[in-house]
Structure 1
Amino acid sequence: MNWGGPGFVLSIIAIVMIASIVKTAIRAKHGYPLDDEACEGKGKRRRRQDEIDATRQARLMADQNEQLQAKVLRLEERIAVLERIATDPATRTAREIDALR
């Protein structure tokens, strides 16, 4: 058997290339960074996408924060009304209810 022949060398090169392609496909499928020199452009695109996602997430969080602040203000106003009702004398509350009718 001739282990040093050109067919053996070419088969080793083919096996290494196929293994590299499979490795890259698996890394891409599971979201791992592609740090091979041949895939440098894809890594930059992925970083840009991550920046866009972070910006979008920050905007969504800011919107949610505004909504929650508005909700807290409404709840504080409702609590103030309930406290006023609870601490006011019964006759005054009855007069105000009759005035609304």
Structure 2
Amino acid sequence: MEFLSETAIIAGVAIMTGGWIISTWLRMKNGYPLENSWGKALYPKTTEAQERVSLLTQENAALRAEVGAMKDRLGNVERIVTDSGYHLTQEIGRLSDSTEVN
């Protein structure tokens, strides 16, 4: 008889815990704020936080565009520097500088 009551208690605790886990999962999945034991929201959704996220998202997009433009410019500079004509111009300039010194 005692074994049956212990099993019933364990089963009851397991069912209640499972219900709490499922309830919390459904709240998170559907975007409801989680609550503490007193019913207060743990992570209240405020408009201030949403505005900050929006501003940061816009700033992030602008910075990504700027980095993309800088990559393009750097690619052009690398192409110019590695171009054989650039080396030839440098050598001619070096030769003309050395002849002027002598």
Do these two structures clear the TM 0.5 threshold for a shared fold by scoring above it? no
- The structure that is helix-richer by fraction is 1
Give the TM interval when normalised to the shorter protein.
Answer: 0.3 to 0.5
**TM-score if structure 2 supplies the norm length?**
0.41
